[in-house]
Structures are given as C-alpha cells and as structure tokens.
Amino acid sequence: MDEIFKKPIEKQFEFDENIASVFDDMLDRSIPFYKEVISLICDIVSLHVNNSSTVIDLGCSTANTLLALHRKSKYKFKSIGFDNSKAMLEQAKRKIDAYGADIELRLADILEVKLPNSDVIIANYMLQFIRPPQRADFIKKIYTSLNSGGLFIFSEKIIYNDKKLNKKMIDIYYNFKKKEGYSEFEISQKREALENVLVPYSEQENRELILKSGFQTIETLFKWGNFVTFLAIK
C-alpha cells in the first residue's frame, strides 16, 4: 500500500525502488478512472492491430497497459515496453512472468534511444515528466517512428488557462485523493516532491504540440477534471 509520503520527503520525486514497490496502488488511488482509461485504450488498440503489428509503451512502468492489452486482444502482435527505471521493470517482469505474457522490456532513456517502427505508441502520464524544451523534439521522434496511419495514444495531467477554474479543478482532484485515503500531509508532501518534476501543459498546448509535429489529427478520448487521454493519428 502506498504510504511513501506519510513521512517528510528528503528528495524530489523519482521512480526508485520505494515508488516501484507501491506504484500500482499509487496509480489506482491517484489517477481518476485509471483502470477505465486503460481498458478504453486497449479496446481502441485491439481494433487497430493485427498479428504483424508492433505496439510500444513508453514509460511502461510496471507494464499495466501492455498486460491489459495482452489479456484483451485476440492478436499476437509484438509488444515492447520502454522505461528508464530498473526498479519499475523488475516489477513489470514479475507480473509478465506470472501471466505468461510475451512482452519485451527494454531499460533505456526514451529521449536517447532509437524507437523501432511501430503501429501504436502509448505514453500514459509520461510526457509531463519530460522537460518542456525537449518535448517537441520527442513528439517528432514518436511521429517519425510510427508507420503511416499509426496511433499515438497518451494521457496527461493538464492545467487550465483560467486561473480560478484551474484552482477549482485542483481542489476537486485533492478531494478525490482524500476520498482514496490520502491525508492532507501526504498530498502536500507529494505535491512538493513533484514540484518542477511534473510540468503539465494545457489541453490546447498538448494539441498544438501534436499537430506541429506532423500528426494529421488529434482527438480527446477521455477527460476528467485535469486528466485527459488523447488519440493522435499519423
């Protein structure tokens, strides 16, 4: 169970062994409709792929999305999960082995590694951790590696341009976390740990970033408060 922030923080947020050990619980209790979003993504990907397809999950963490896709899809496509956290991939491998899934895991810096050609790229709550000056070039790399007609599906925490509305959405989100059992202290500690580590864009900024990179279209698949899942098509 996630109790990481019950004690005073000593460093900025990072995906180390402590986070990896409770990460699945953290996701369920910190991201509204997390399981429903993953299920929706899997439904869409399942309709797009076939046995010769390649699906990539960038920042795959403990492989929740690829495992859900493995359980849902009738096709035996190639699945590759990239992450720069060894601790996360160790957790992912244990789960993959338990399910007997055919999923390849690669320990790599996704900003530096060359991405293989693919039909679907997924990036859930990952772009927000890439420094803004690097984000546009990274999206262009994703675009280049996708095959024609390929899908880029990504989820992000967003900000609202209207400051009053943005504050209300933050309050709504904090109330959500309180209902999930997090204390005021834990919420405050995590917010401080993520300061300048997680840098969200507005919904419009995300759209502009995608279209400027060459994608022909971008649509909103799901939205709750300050969390959005997008679908872009090459």
The confidence band for 193, taking pLDDT boundaries of 50, 70 and 90, is low
C-alpha to C-alpha distance for 97 and 10, rounded to whole angstroms: 34
**Contact criterion met (CB below 8 Å) for 193 and 9:** yes
Both tokens assigned to 216: 């022909």
What percentage of the chain has pLDDT greater than the value 90?
69
Average pLDDT, stretch 170-197? Answer: 74
Structure confidence at residue 3 (pLDDT): 42
Q: For residue 129, how many other CB atoms are within 10 A of its CB?
A: 15
Structure confidence at residue 183 (pLDDT): 66
pTM, two decimal places: 0.87
- pLDDT at residue 146 is higher than 70: yes
What percentage of the chain has pLDDT greater than the value 70?
83
Task: Note down the domain range covering 60.
Answer: 4-233
Average pLDDT, stretch 165-172? Answer: 93
Structure confidence at residue 22 (pLDDT): 59
Structure confidence at residue 16 (pLDDT): 52
Both tokens assigned to 109: 């810096």
Structure confidence at residue 28 (pLDDT): 75
**Whole-number Cα distances in Å, 126 to 70, 139, 149, 182:** 21, 12, 22, 23
Question: CA nearest 15: which of 103, 99, 95, 126?
Answer: 126
User: Residue 104: beta bridge partners?
Assistant: 80
Structure confidence at residue 122 (pLDDT): 98
- pLDDT at residue 17 is higher than 70: no
Instruction: Assign residue 144 the CATH number of its domain.
Output: 3.40.50.150
**3-state SS, one letter per residue, for 88-103:** HHHHHHHHHHHHCCCC
The confidence band for 179, taking pLDDT boundaries of 50, 70 and 90, is confident
Average pLDDT, stretch 18-26? Answer: 59
Lowest mean pLDDT among 5-9, 25-29, 53-57, 131-135: 5-9
Question: CA nearest 217: which of 205, 227, 230?
Answer: 230
What is the total count of domains within the chain? 1
Contacts of residue 50, Cβ cutoff 8 Å, sequence gap at least 6: 75, 77
**Contact criterion met (CB below 8 Å) for 81 and 102:** no
C-alpha to C-alpha distance for 89 and 109, rounded to whole angstroms: 13
**Contact criterion met (CB below 8 Å) for 59 and 124:** yes
Question: CA nearest 87: which of 153, 14, 147?
Answer: 14
What are 42-88's pLDDT values in tens digits? 999 999 999 999 999 999 999 999 999 999 988 899 999 999 999 88
**Whole-number Cα distances in Å, 216 to 40, 57, 123, 212:** 22, 21, 18, 9
Length of the chain: 234
**Residue position matching structure tokens 């004690």:** 7
- pLDDT at residue 15 is higher than 70: no
